Structure 1
Amino acid sequence: MPANKGYTGMWVTADGYIRHHLLPNGRYDEARGNKKSAYQGSYKISEDHIDYKDDTGFTADGDFIDGILYHAGMVLYREK
């Protein structure tokens, strides 16, 4: 189980097009537009940094700053 500091849940871009669901078991599911599960994989959180590894082996990362997730040029907000 990742040390997630309460970061699990749904994170979305302002337009709702990209949605990251950070699951409590260390897995994520990313939807894009109408395509559910466009990417799936695992994640690990260290402090306020997140490392992603999708099921094909692609890696990416991001940072949580003041309640906002900055990831690969995207800005995602916690879904209310």
Structure 2
Amino acid sequence: MSSDEPSNGDLVRFPQSRVRPSAQGRPFRTLGLGPLARALGAPIEQATGHWCSRCQGIWYGYLLEVTCPVCGSRQG
């Protein structure tokens, strides 16, 4: 590893929305669209699905939305 590469402690994991659902195999809730997707009227086919571990559901956002529209969590 060269001196200009970050060590593991320096890495910032992004995006948090890539977290695997903790309850795989259990039913999940559909949490709807994020505020930007709603404001732009984006079709669901253009939105990106994100897992919210607090709500145990999937919500759909447009572009770089990262906040759950139900609980406000940004941690996936």
Give 1 or 2: higher helix fraction: 2
Tell me the TM-score normalized by structure 2.
Answer: 0.30
Larger Rg: 2
Give 1 or 2: higher strand fraction: 1
Tell me the TM-score normalized by structure 1.
Answer: 0.29
